[in-house]
């Protein structure tokens, strides 16, 4: 939707005025922070998670937090050199609550350690449904990358650790059914959802919009990539993570370029004891080191290195994936400024060498390497405001190569790159097709934000307003191959072969965003009300600079509210609009080539053959392509009985994204010239053509044009439950459950395989049927149980995780019988609909054909479960030893049952991790 900015601000201020009649009630929290030996801890930070409320302890370990919002909250207490403590508390509407905390040198000695995502957590400054995963939960996961850590979220299937393939993540989505043919070569449901899930690392959004690792709608290249989907998460190792905040619900207006949700990633920085981590299982080896040191009182420097290697099938295949990452973080506090600078480096190499004994000639290799420089500066403005400036430059170089041995019958061929008619040649037999995909991606990002806190009319208020600028482009040499040995073997006489394409011919894209977000807290008659409302305006510019006219714009109002009738009971709800810009490859698609055969004189004698082809080049660019717009809504309830008590969170959500970038087959036609021969005898020389052409006919075509034609619906229920610890056995049970359903629908028509196989080149067929596009669906019910046994005095944690895949089903919904056609297309590209009541008439008998390649029958996996075991034990000098077994019982080793697909989980995987500090913090 397009609205002027003044109206946007008026709506925001009007919505905020609704809360003004409430009277304020606030409580204070105070307590003492001690070590596990009973000594007070000075200069420890006590913070209410998800708010700006923070206090430091004095020399006696005492702290006080004033005007704390009532209801269930998380008290985070931390200090450099100690393990952080997160305490679930219930804040009253008034008075003072005393909460003492214990900090331990080793987290495993804490009596209330949390090794899973907290069910009632809050992301900083956010009111939407979120999951917070802290450092100790990350360390207990045995993950080698962030994708494994995100398995702590409700509804996420578990997988063994490794980096053997590209990894992306989609919030609140399950894969839908069918091949990419059902979206005409466009992205599937999981790709769209991953593309719409924003990943923010240390305050800087990562970008996939410049990822042009694509070969066009007819490309047949198999390279490891997440092109068209989400970011490859293998570039973010788990060992460098300090904290993850997954905003699953409606994010505040601060976050844009998304439709699904936000993953906020905070990497480790500050003074960190030098630590070495080593991890091994039969397929994956990982080694990483981290250390942070202070220099004087104003500077700290933190460094991190990671090396990880995964072999897909040792002893069977030589496939190898290898990752190198490094980070250097510097914090300085000159005067009133706090300056954070980071340098991130990564390289991910994936190699699948040729296996001649299996498939001769087939091999692929991908080498991605990147560098990101980011800087954030924060400075207080007055007493209750902070100005923050964030800037980053991200560069990724992607070099991929794929080859395969192809066999092709003798076909006419032309290597023309411009429209026109020329004598072609015949290429056939066996040849090695090799393709290079070389991208050089750039992403420049800047954000200026003012954060203000103030009390007015008895309210606690916080306002964030900001400006974002982005510019993205790809300067790589692109999609390259020997044009006479293309990576496709099929040629129907019209849709010839793809041509090479440079990426650096594509202009950059620029986008601008303005946002304002306000959060107000108040109390009324013993109840607490928290309201967050905001407005965001995203502009996609027509030119390559921020001052150029907008190509598209979307206004995004968002509102979340929370009501706590009692300290242990909280009701939540949210609604908002989001937007995601289309990928650069859809804004500027590759030209489409059509090679029409005018003459195909083929004889056994190669010297006597003659091929004449006319090449047509179509630009499928859609000038109206713009944002995908999402509408997110959710309601939830949270119950929390206080420290060491029961915590329950239930959320019902419905997310609908309309207008994602897909491909729309646009029918048309070409004119084919036909010639007569002056000499057509088989004399050992090619025949002589009579100029000009004596006649012509039409050849129908489909132009694959990018369009905002994909619509994604995700709905479901999420449940998180933490039960009180059973003290006699030191046992605690955490339960997560999720039911999720996804629908992917495409506007437009499906012309099926009949169009290309029997209609285009058969001039005797005057028409061909078309069908309505199918709806692709996916449904999943996933339950995860974690039983945690903790012995603080021994430094021992045993976690048994059982994941029950109760339902995993995909299905296509659409007509497939002989009366399912919706109409027909003529040889001139004209679409003629046929009413349902007339499809059985005799005049449409030639259209009553089965829909080839389409299946309505559902595909589902057998309901089953897997068990994972994890044992963590402290070592001398503050070290830690961890053993794990994934799918320990491997109940799915038997063959798949009739009517069901294969196993849900890979076979058993086991390994160990060792963490050893090399010295204390300095």
Express each pLDDT in 841-860 by its tens digit: 999 999 998 887 777 778 88
**Confidence at 24, pLDDT banded by 50, 70, 90:** very low
> What's the pLDDT at 349?
95
As a whole number of Å, the end-to-end CA separation of the chain is 54
pLDDT in tens, 487-529: 876 665 677 777 888 999 899 999 999 999 999 988 777 788 8
Q: Give the lowest-confidence range in 206-215, 316-325, 859-868, 875-884.
A: 206-215
Residue 177: predicted pLDDT:
65
Q: What is the pLDDT of residues 346-396, one digit of tens each?
A: 999 999 999 888 888 899 999 999 999 999 999 999 888 999 999 999 999
Q: Which two tokens stand for residue 52?
A: 């700006």
| Cross-strand pairs, 558 | 534, 576
pLDDT of residue 426: 85
- Name which of 171, 184, 63 is nearest 667 in CA terms: 184
Helix (H) or strand (E) holding 637: strand 628-640
Q: How confident is the model at residue 178 (pLDDT cuts 50, 70, 90)?
A: low
What pLDDT is stored for residue 17 in this prediction?
A: 39
The pLDDT value given to residue 182: 45
Kind of pairing between the strands at 27-35 and 101-103: parallel
For 735, other C-beta atoms within 10 Å of its C-beta total: 17
Collapse the DSSP code of 115 into the 3-class scheme (helix H, G, I; strand E, B; otherwise coil) and give the result.
coil
Query: Is 614 in contact with 598 (CB distance < 8 Å)?
Result: yes
DSSP 226-270: -TTS---GGGSBGGGEEEEEEE-S---TT--SBSSEEEEEEE--S
Q: What is the mean pLDDT of residues 164-169?
A: 89
Asked if the model's pLDDT at residue 893 lies above 60, the reply is no
Residues 801/137, Cβ–Cβ less than 8 Å = no
Nearest to 181 by CA among 221, 220, 217: 217
Average pLDDT over residues 22-30: 66
Query: Would you put residue 676 in left (φ > 0), alpha (ψ -120 to 50) or beta?
Result: beta
Most confident of 162-166, 550-554, 595-599, 679-683: 550-554
**pLDDT score for 384:** 85
pLDDT band at 567, cuts 50/70/90?
Answer: confident
Q: How far apart are CA 521 and CA 19, in angstroms?
A: 9
How large is the C-alpha radius of gyration of the chain?
Answer: 31
Q: Is 568 helix (H, G, I), strand (E, B) or coil?
A: coil
The pLDDT tens digits of the residues spanning 40-91 come to: 998 888 988 777 788 889 888 999 998 887 777 788 888 876 778 878 787 8
pTM above 0.85, yes or no: yes
Q: Which two tokens stand for residue 116?
A: 């899973």
Q: What's the pLDDT score for residue 2?
A: 43
The DSSP string of 747-784 is SSEE-TTHIIIIITT-TT--EEEEEEPPEEEEEEEEEE
| Residue 11: band (very low, low, confident or very high) from pLDDT cuts 50, 70, 90 | very low
CB 103 within 8 A of CB 83: yes
How confident is the prediction for the chain on average, in pLDDT? 86
Q: Residues, the chain, total?
A: 922
Cα 456 to Cα 278: distance, rounded to the nearest angstrom: 53
The answer, yes or no, to whether residue 758 has pLDDT greater than 90, is no
Confidence label for 6 from pLDDT (cuts 50, 70 and 90): very low
Select from 422, 396, 426, 433 the least CA-distant residue to 411. 426
**CA–CA separation, 138 and 141 (whole Å):** 5
- Residue 275: burial class (beta carbons within 10 Å; 0-12, 13-18, 19+): buried
- Residue 440 pLDDT exceeds 60: yes
Of the ranges 209-218, 293-302, 576-585, the best mean pLDDT one: 576-585
| Tens-digit pLDDT profile for residues 461-484 | 899 999 999 999 999 999 899 888
* pLDDT of amino acid 357: 86
Closest CA to 920 of 865, 873, 877: 877
> What is the rounded average pLDDT of the residues 228-248?
90
Q: What is the pLDDT of residue 590?
A: 87
Distance, CA of 753 to CA of 759 (rounded, Å): 9
pLDDT at 901: 57
pLDDT tens track for 113-122: 777 776 677 7
How many other β-carbons are positioned within 10 Å of the β-carbon of residue 481? Answer: 22
SS (H, E, C) 295-312: ECCCEEEEEEEEEEEEEC
DSSP 606: G
Average pLDDT over residues 820-828: 94
| Residue pLDDT, tens place only, 592-650 | 889 898 998 888 888 888 999 999 999 999 999 999 999 999 999 998 876 567 889 99
DSSP 607: G
Confidence of residue 212 (pLDDT cuts 50, 70, 90): low
| Residue 12 backbone phi and psi in degrees, to 5 | -65, -50
Show the tokens assigned to 265.
């990633």
Q: Does residue 36 carry a pLDDT above 70?
A: yes
What is the spatial distance between Cα 179 and Cα 165, in angstroms, rounded to a whole number? 20
């Amino acid at each position: 939707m397009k609205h002027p900015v003044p109206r946007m601000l008026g709506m925001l201020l009007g919505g905020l005025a609704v809360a003004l009649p409430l009277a304020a009630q606030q409580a204070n929290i105070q307590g003492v922070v001690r070590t596990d030996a009973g000594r007070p801890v000075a200069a420890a930070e006590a913070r209410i998670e998800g708010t700006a409320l923070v206090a430091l302890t004095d020399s006696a370990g005492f702290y006080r937090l004033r005007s704390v919002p009532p209801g269930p909250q998380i008290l985070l207490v931390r200090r450099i050199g100690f393990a952080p403590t997160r305490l679930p508390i219930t804040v009253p509407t008034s008075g003072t609550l005393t909460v003492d905390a214990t900090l331990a040198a080793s987290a495993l000695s804490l009596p209330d350690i949390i090794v899973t995502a907290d069910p009632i957590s809050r992301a900083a400054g956010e009111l939407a449904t979120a999951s917070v995963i802290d450092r100790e939960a990350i360390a207990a996961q045995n993950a080698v990358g962030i994708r494994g850590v995100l398995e702590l979220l409700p509804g996420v299937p578990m997988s063994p650790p490794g980096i053997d393939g590209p990894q992306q993540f989609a919030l609140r989505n399950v894969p839908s059914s069918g091949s990419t043919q059902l979206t005409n070569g466009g992205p599937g449901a999981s790709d769209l959802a991953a593309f719409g899930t924003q990943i923010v690392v240390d305050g800087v959004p990562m970008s996939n919009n410049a990822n042009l690792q694509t070969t066009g709608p007819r490309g047949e290249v198999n390279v490891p990539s997440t092109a068209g989907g989400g970011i490859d998460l293998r570039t973010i190792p788990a060992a460098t993570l300090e904290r993850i905040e997954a905003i699953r619900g409606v994010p505040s207006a601060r976050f844009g370029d998304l439709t699904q949700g936000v993953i906020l990633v905070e990497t480790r920085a500050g003074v960190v004891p030098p630590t070495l981590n080593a991890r091994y299982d039969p397929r994956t080896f990982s080694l990483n080191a981290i250390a942070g040191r202070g220099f004087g009182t104003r500077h700290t420097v933190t460094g991190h290195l990671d090396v990880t290697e995964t072999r897909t099938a040792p002893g069977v295949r030589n496939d190898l994936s290898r990752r190198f990452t490094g980070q250097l973080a510097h914090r300085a506090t000159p005067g009133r400024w706090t300056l954070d600078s980071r340098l991130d480096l990564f390289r991910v190499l994936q190699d699948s060498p040729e296996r001649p004994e299996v498939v001769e000639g087939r091999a692929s290799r991908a080498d991605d390497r990147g560098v990101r420089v980011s800087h954030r500066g924060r400075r207080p403005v007055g007493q209750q405001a902070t100005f923050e400036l964030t800037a980053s430059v991200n560069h990724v170089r992607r070099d991929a190569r794929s080859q395969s041995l192809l066999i092709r019958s003798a076909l006419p061929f032309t290597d023309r790159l411009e429209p026109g008619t020329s004598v072609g040649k015949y290429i056939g037999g066996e040849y090695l097709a090799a393709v290079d995909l070389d991208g050089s991606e750039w992403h420049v990002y800047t954000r200026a934000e003012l954060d203000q806190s103030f009390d007015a009319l008895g309210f606690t208020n916080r306002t964030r307003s900001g400006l974002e600028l982005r510019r993205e482009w790809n300067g790589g040499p692109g999609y390259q191959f020997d044009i006479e040995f293309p990576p496709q073997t099929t040629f129907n006489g019209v849709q010839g072969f793809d041509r090479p394409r440079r990426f650096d011919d594509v202009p950059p894209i620029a986008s601008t965003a303005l946002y304002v977000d306000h959060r107000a807290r108040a109390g009324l008659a013993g109840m607490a009300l928290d309201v967050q409302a905001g407005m965001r305006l995203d502009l996609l510019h027509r030119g390559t600079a921020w001052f150029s006219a907008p190509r598209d714009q979307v206004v995004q109002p968002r509102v979340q509210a929370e009501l706590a009738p009692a300290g242990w009971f909280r009701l939540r709800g949210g609604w908002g609009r989001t937007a995601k810009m289309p990928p650069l490859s859809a804004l500027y698609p590759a030209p489409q080539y059509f090679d029409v055969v005018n003459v195909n004189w083929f004889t056994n004698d190669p010297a006597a053959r003659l091929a004449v082809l006319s090449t047509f080049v179509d630009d499928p660019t859609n000038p109206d392509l713009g944002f995908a717009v999402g509408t997110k809504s959710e309601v939830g309830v949270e119950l929390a009985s206080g420290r060491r008590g029961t915590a329950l969170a239930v959320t019902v959500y419905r997310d609908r994204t309309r207008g994602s970038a897909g491909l729309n087959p646009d029918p048309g036609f070409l004119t084919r010239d036909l010639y007569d021969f002056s000499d057509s005898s088989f004399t050992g020389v090619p025949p002589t053509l009579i100029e000009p052409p004596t006649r012509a006919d039409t050849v129908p075509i489909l132009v694959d044009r990018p369009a905002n034609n994909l619509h994604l619906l995700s709905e479901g229920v999420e449940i998180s439950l933490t039960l009180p610890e059973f003290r006699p056995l030191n046992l605690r049970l955490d339960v997560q459950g999720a039911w999720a359903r996804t629908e992917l629908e495409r506007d437009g028509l499906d012309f099926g395989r009949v169009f290309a196989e029997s209609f285009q080149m058969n001039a005797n067929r005057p028409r061909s049927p078309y069908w309505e596009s199918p709806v692709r669906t996916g449904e999943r019910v996933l339950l995860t149980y974690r039983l945690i046994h903790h012995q603080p005095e021994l430094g021992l944690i045993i976690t048994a995780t059982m994941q029950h895949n109760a339902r995993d089903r995909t299905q296509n919904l659409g007509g497939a019988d002989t009366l399912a056609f919706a109409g027909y297309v003529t040889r001139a590209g004209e679409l003629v609909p046929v009413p349902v009541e007339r499809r059985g008439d005799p005049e449409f008998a030639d259209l009553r054909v089965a829909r080839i390649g389409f299946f309505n029958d559902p595909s589902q996996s057998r309901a089953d479960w897997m068990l994972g075991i994890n044992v963590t034990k402290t070592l001398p000098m503050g070290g830690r030893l961890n053993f794990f077994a994934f799918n320990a019982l491997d109940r799915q080793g038997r063959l798949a049952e009739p009517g069901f697909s294969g196993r849900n989980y890979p076979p058993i995987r086991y390994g160990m991790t060792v963490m050893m500090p090399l010295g204390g913090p300095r």
